[in-house]
Amino acid sequence: MGRLMEDVPMDGESIDQLRSVLRGEVITPGDVTYEQHRKVWNGSIDRRPALIARCGGVSDVRAAVRLARERDLLVAVRSGGHSFPGLSICDGGIVIDLGLMKGVRVDPPRQRVRAQAGVLLGELDKETQAFGYAVPSGIVTHTGLAGLTLGGGIGWIMRKYGLTVDSLTSVDVVTADGEFVTANEQENADLFWGVRGGGGNFGIVTEFEFWMHRLGPQVVAGPVFWPATQAHEVLHFYRDWVRECPDELMTIVVQRKAPDLPVIPPELVGQLIIGVVACYSGEVAEGERVVQPLKEFGSPVLDLCVPKPYLAHQRMFDPSFRHGNWYYVRSCDVAALTDDVIEVMVEYGQQITSPVTSVALWQMGGAVARVDEGTTAFHGRHAGFTFNINGNSETADGFEDQRRWARRYWDALAPHHTSVYVNFLMDEGEERVRQAYGVEKYDRLKSLKRKYDPTNFFRLNQNIGPT
Ligand SMILES: Cc1cc2nc3c(=O)[nH]c(=O)nc-3n(C[C@H](O)[C@H](O)[C@H](O)COP(=O)(O)OP(=O)(O)OC[C@H]3O[C@@H](n4cnc5c(N)ncnc54)[C@H](O)[C@@H]3O)c2cc1C
């Protein structure tokens, strides 16, 4: 088994040996770029690996895995580095960093795209939109495609086209013993089931292949904001309005202080607001008709829900989740926006103090819920809404207060919790991972783990232990 390596320095010979075979780069604590490369998106995570292997391709990944195995090193695997709890970096040990692996190939006649593990969401969108297509993914373009896909992948077009994993057709994987396998419906189908929600538990995915869907380039999308003092009325209206809406419409309710951005009028910046952000994955004229009641409700203080390029909408949340801020998240699914849930939202939304703290309430359902629950390892297809309660600060200053607020908000929702999306977990222990998959799927995932990674070589993840 691996171990923390603070007390076990990497010997020069092993480092030189890896350096001599890697197409990419080997970085150790003495190197000038070490500080840059040990950083992850969440500024509250501060870890110092013994070695970072920036892999240039599959052969580099295999070499790094073999070295880690021979030397009994703790292994972290990093693609986009956006794990909320910092699972892609370790103290001591080796980081197998896939960030250099950026290849994307769009194949329009087959309506497929292949993407290497280091690709970020915005990079994939840019390539697919150049041909008028999109793969369902997430809502912040600097998130890694790999970690997001391996957990399931929820985002703006999921209600029309399903989760990211519902469009996944094949993966290339380097296993714990350094072997290279392909998994899809025909080959290694059990592994293919597991990687569609089971995270990095079974191996390192080096490349993904997806179905693409026709989209845009223009979509009707964007936020409508009201003062937080009107949250009660807005949420009651919203609940009734989305109940009958078509699958093309996806919405996220946002609670926060209006951010200091060029699109926000200066008098609104810093004011507590409630917003409904929409994205319509269909004809622009039809989208305008569908969002009209939202735009007409009450007296919005800002309405940016208009036709725009899908790529621009995808970037909308990027500045709200800058690299280096201190982030803490609590998450849960709820079945419905009941009166009680709305009361909790109203109460805690008015207590937000940090300019970078926010709540996102995701509307689920549509195509996500029409796939049979057993088809993929992702669990929770019948969730009504998913809460993402982000207690954030710009530095360590005040972080503890934000964390406390997020926990209190989440606790207040406890009577309504159903499941939880695995990619929105912090480091919350085995019971929460079990909740994320449900007991039956968790057991199936455990037996898959015994087959593909019996020593728990890949354990810096939302871990599904073999025993
Ligand atoms: C700002 C922000 C926005 C987000 N928005 C969304 C969203 O819209 N929809 C959504 O579904 N989720 C969203 N998430 C959650 C996101 O899906 C997870 O944080 C995801 O793990 C990030 O992937 P990554 O590659 O950037 O992460 P990393 O930190 O690199 O990795 C995360 C985990 O996956 C493992 N892993 C990474 N790459 C591989 C690989 N190639 N093979 C095997 N294991 C691997 C790592 O070891 C680690 O355990 C968001 C997160 C953030 C921080």
Which two structure tokens, joined as six digits, stand for 367?
């195509």
Q: CA–CA separation, 57 vs 204, rounded Å?
A: 12
CA-closest residue to ligand 1 atom 15: 423
Torsion angle in degrees (nearest 10) through CA of 10, 14, 16, 20: -140
Residue whose token pair is 């290339």: 172
- The best mutation among 39, 42, 88 to test binding of ligand 1, ranked by most ligand atoms within 8 Å of the C-beta, falls on 88
Sign of CA dihedral 395, 397, 401, 403: positive
Q: CA–CA separation, 393 vs 370, rounded Å?
A: 38
Task: Identify the H or E element spanning 424.
Answer: none
Q: CA–CA separation, 15 vs 13, rounded Å?
A: 5
Q: CA–CA separation, 301 vs 308, rounded Å?
A: 20
CA-closest residue to ligand 1 atom 19: 83
CA 361 – ligand 1 centroid, Å: 19
Count other Cβ atoms within 10 Å, centred on residue 454: 12
Sign of CA dihedral 89, 359, 394, 427: negative
| Contact predicate 354/320, CB 8 Å | no
Q: Which of 29, 79, 25, 24 is nearest to 51 (CA)?
A: 29
| pLDDT on residue 12 | 82
CA 147 – ligand 1 centroid, Å: 3
Q: Which of 116, 292, 290, 105 is nearest to 212 (CA)?
A: 105
Q: Which of 86, 69, 335 is nearest to 178 (CA)?
A: 69
How far are the Cα atoms of 42, 49, 75 from residue 91, in angstroms, in the given order?
15, 5, 10
| pLDDT on residue 410 | 98
pTM of the predicted structure, to 2 decimals: 0.97
Locate the ligand 1 atom nearest the alpha carbon of residue 142 and give its number: 1
Q: Which of 161, 61, 170 is nearest to 107 (CA)?
A: 170
How far are the Cα atoms of 61, 153, 260 from residue 139, in angstroms, in the given order?
28, 10, 19
Residues within a 6 A CB radius of ligand 1: 41, 77-84, 87-88, 98, 117, 138-140, 143-144, 146-148, 150-151, 153-155, 199-200, 204-205, 321, 423, 460-461
Q: CA–CA separation, 378 vs 441, rounded Å?
A: 9
Locate the ligand 1 atom nearest the alpha carbon of residue 458 and give its number: 47
Instruction: Tell me the backbone φ, ψ of residue 24, rounded to 5 degrees.
Output: -85, -140
Q: Spell out the residues 6+ positions from residue 102 whose beta carbon is closer than 8 angstroms to its own.
A: 116, 118, 119, 123
| pLDDT on residue 9 | 54
Phi-psi region of 203 (alpha: psi -120 to 50; beta: other; left: phi over 0): left
Locate the ligand 1 atom nearest the alpha carbon of residue 76 and give its number: 47
Q: CA–CA separation, 312 vs 222, rounded Å?
A: 10
Per-residue confidence in pLDDT tens, the chain, 467 aa:
334 444 445 778 889 989 999 999 999 999 999 999 999 999 999 999 999 999 999 999 999 999 999 999 999 999 999 999 999 999 999 999 999 999 999 999 999 999 999 999 999 999 999 999 999 999 999 999 999 999 999 999 999 999 999 999 999 999 999 999 999 999 999 999 999 999 999 999 999 999 999 999 999 999 999 999 999 999 999 999 999 999 999 999 999 999 999 999 999 999 999 999 999 999 999 999 999 999 999 999 999 999 999 999 999 999 999 999 999 999 999 999 999 999 999 999 999 999 999 999 999 999 999 999 999 999 999 999 999 999 999 999 999 999 999 999 999 999 999 999 999 999 999 999 999 999 999 999 999 999 999 999 999 999 999 99
DSSP designation for 5: -
Q: Which of 127, 122, 163 is nearest to 142 (CA)?
A: 122
The one-letter amino acid at 206: T
Count other Cβ atoms within 10 Å, centred on residue 334: 22
Burial of 268 (0-12, 13-18, 19+ CB in 10 A): middle
| pLDDT on residue 13 | 83
For residue 44, the SS3 value is coil
CA 143 – ligand 1 centroid, Å: 7
> pLDDT tens-digit profile of 22-37?
999 999 999 999 999 9
Burial of 397 (0-12, 13-18, 19+ CB in 10 A): exposed
CA 399 distance to own-chain centroid = 22
CA 250 – ligand 1 centroid, Å: 21
Locate the ligand 1 atom nearest the alpha carbon of residue 200 and give its number: 44
